[in-house]
Structure 1
Amino acid sequence: MGLFVKKLSPEEELPSSIHPPVLLLHGFCEDHTIWENMLSAFPGRTIYLVDLPGFGKSKVELPNPLSIDWVAEVIYRQVIDPEKIEPIVVGHSLGGYVALAMAEKYGNSLKGLCLFHSTVFADSGEKKATRNKVIDYVTKSGVESFTTEFVPGLFHSLFRRKNPDIVEQVVGLASGTRLDTLTAYTAAMRDRPERSEVLKMFEQPKLIIAGEKDGAVPLEQSLLMTEMVGSDQFVLLEETAHMGMYEQPEACKKALSSLA
C-alpha cells in the first residue's frame, strides 16, 4: 500500500482559481481523522486529507534516516503534482514542519499556508536531548506506554478533566503508531532545519494558530512568528494547549475560514 489520501469534493464546488483546495496535514502520532471538526471551515472547497507516510493507512516504507524534506516530497509527488492543484496547506505540529518544507521547495504551487500549533524554529539543544530520550524510551518500553503518557499532556489540564473521552480517543489513535514510524519521525523532527526565512518570504496568505498554554510550542516562540505573518494573521487561543481542533474548535474554524 502507498500513501493514503482522502479527497472530499463538495456538491457545489467553488471555482478553484478563486477558492483553492485545502490540503490538511496531521501531526505526530495522528492521522487524517483529527481534522473532522475542522472540515466545515471550508465550504465549497475540495479538501485533501492525507495520512503522512507511516501513519494511519499510509503503509509506506520509510527511509533510514527519514527527513521532513522527504515527507514533503512524497506528498507533493503523490498528491499535489498528479492532482494538478495549488492548495492552501494547513499543518498541525509535525504537519506544519512538512508544510514549511513544501513551501521552501514548491512555494509557487501553494496558495496559502497555516502553521497550526507548529513552529518555524529548529529544536534547541534541550529539545534535541528530549527527542533522544523519547527514542530510547519507546524502544525499551513500547509505543503504547509512551503514548499513554505523552498524549494527555498535549491537552490543557482543564480540558482533560472535562473531556476524558476525547483524550482517550486521541490516546488510542496514537497508540496504533508503528514503532519504526515513531522513532524515525522523532529523529527527523530533531534534525529539521530552521525555516524562518521560508515563512517570511512566502507571498501567499499565511496564518499562525497558537495555544496560550502549549507545552510543545511555547508561547514565547509563537509570538516571535507574529511579525512573519502579521498580527492580523496570528490567532492566539487562550487556555488552550496543543490540540486546538478539539479544545477550541469554533475559534479554529473561524481562523481557518479567514485564511481560505
Structure 2
Amino acid sequence: MTPLILLPGMMCDARLFASQTEALSSERPVFVPTLSGSNTMERLATEVLKNAPERFALGGLSMGGIAAMEVLRQAPDRVAGLALLDTNPSAETEEIQARRGPQMKRARTGQLDSVMRDEMKPNYLSDGENRAAILELCMNMALELGPDVFCEQSIALRDRPDQSETLRHFNKPALVLCGREDKLCPISRHELMHKLLPRSELVIIDGAGHLPTLEKPHETTHALRRWLKEIDDER
C-alpha cells in the first residue's frame, strides 16, 4: 500500500489527524510531521521531502495543504496522489498579511494564548456538539508548539507563492475536501482547486467548519480511504 503523509494546519500537530491515523495505519504507513524549524514554505517542504518515502500519497489541511502544494511543486514525481483539505492555493492577501505583524508581536510578548483564543479559534469550527472539546484541543496544540513556531509559520504563510500552476499540472488522483461551514477557506476556493486539478473529486462535509478531521472524523476518513484506493489501484 502507498505510504501516506499528512501535514497539519497552523499550530497543530499529529492530534489533528488522530482519527484518520488510527483508521488508516492498519492499511499503510502514515506519517504526520510537524511543520516547524523554518520560516519559508520552501524550506518546510524540503524538510518534509528529506524524511519522506520515495513515493507517497500526500494530504494536508489548511497550512498543511499549502505546504503540500509546495512539496508537490518541488517533487511532483514522488507524489502519487494529493488531498487538499480546507486550504487555499493563492498567495496571501494584503489584508491578512497586515494582521501577521501585530499577532507575532503579541505572541513574542507572552500573549499567544490570547491571539489563539480571540483571533483564530473562533473562526475554526461549526457549532457542533464537540466544539468546546475541539477548541480546547486546538489551544493545547498551539500552546505546546509555542510562540517561536507561531512566528515561523506566520512568516511562511505571509510570504507563500500562488500554487495554481502547480495544481494545474498534477494529473494523478486528487481529493479536494472542506467543511461546508469553513469561514477561513470557503467552498469557492475548493471549487477553484477542483477545477485546476485534472483528476480531482470535490467533497463537502456537512456540519463541519475548518477542521473536519476533528469535527466529522468518520466522514473525512471515508473520503480519504476512497482517494487512497484509487491511488493504490494505479500502482
Q: TM-score, normalised by structure 2?
A: 0.88
Name the SS of the counterpart of 1:20 in structure 2: coil
Alignment of 1:63-142 (within 5 A): 66-77=39-50, 79-80=51-52, 83=53, 85-142=54-111
Contact 1:41/1:254 (<8 A) preserved: no
Report SS of the residue matched to 1:130. helix
With structure 1 as the length reference, what TM-score do the two structures score? 0.80
Deviation at 1:166, TM superposition (A): 2.8
Gaps of 5+ in 1: 1-18, 55-61
Residue 120 of structure 1 deviates from its aligned partner by 0.9
Pairing 1:26–2:21 present: no
Instruction: Confirm or deny: 8 A CA contact 2:89 2:162 kept in the other structure.
Output: yes
**1:190-205 equivalence runs, <5 A:** 190-205=158-173
Give the direction of change, closer, same or farther, for the CA distance of 1:198–1:92 in structure 2 (3 Å limit).
same
Matched residues in 1 for 2:196 and 2:103: separation? 31
Please say if residues 8 and 62 of structure 2, whose CA atoms lie closer than 8 Å, have aligned partners that are also in contact. yes
CA distance in 2, matches of 1:191, 1:49: 24
Alignment equivalent of 1:38, drawn from 20, 26, 35: 20
CA contact (8 A) 1:26 1:92 kept: yes
1:126-178 deviations in whole A, cap 9, x for unaligned?
1212223322332345212222222243111x12x544223212211212222
- The alignment partner of 1:225 has SS state of helix
Q: What is aligned with 1:8? A: none
- Given that residues 41 and 256 in structure 1 are in contact (C-alpha distance below 8 angstroms), is that contact kept between their aligned partners in structure 2? no
Match of 1:221 among 148, 167, 189: 189
Structure 2 unaligned blocks of 5 or more? 229-235
What letter matches 2:29 in structure 1?
T
RMSD between superposed Cα atoms in Å: 1.9
Q: Is the 8 A contact 1:94 1:189 kept in 2?
A: yes
Identity value in percent: 22
How do 1:149-164 residues align onto structure 2 when only pairs under 5 Å count? 149=118, 150-156=120-126, 158-159=127-128, 162-164=130-132
Aligned to 1:48: 31
Distance 1:69 1:232, change over 3 A: closer
1:89 counterpart SS class: strand
Aligned length: 226
User: In structure 1, how many angstroms separate the alpha carbons of the residues matched to 2:136 and 2:147?
Assistant: 20
Change (3 A) 1:214 1:163: closer
Distance between the aligned counterparts of 2:199 and 2:178, measured in 1? Answer: 12
Indicate if the aligned counterparts of 1:217 and 1:242 stay in contact, CA closer than 8 A.
yes
Specify the code of the residue in structure 2 equivalent to 1:176: E
The residue aligned with 1:172 is: 140
Q: How far did 1:21 drift?
A: 0.6
The DSSP-based 3-state class of the residue aligned with 1:51 is coil
Give distance in 2, aligned partners of 1:124 and 1:166. 28
Moved more, 117-126 or 102-111: 117-126
- Structure 1 residues 20, 70: CA separation in 2 closer, same or farther (over 3 Å shift)? same
Give the Å deviation of 1:49: 2.1
1:230 CA displacement: 5.7
Q: In the alignment, which residue of structure 1 is the partner of 2:233? A: none
Question: Residue 123 of structure 2 aligns to which amino acid in structure 1?
Answer: G
Equivalent residue of 2:176, what SS? strand
2:187, 2:139 → 1: CA distance? 24
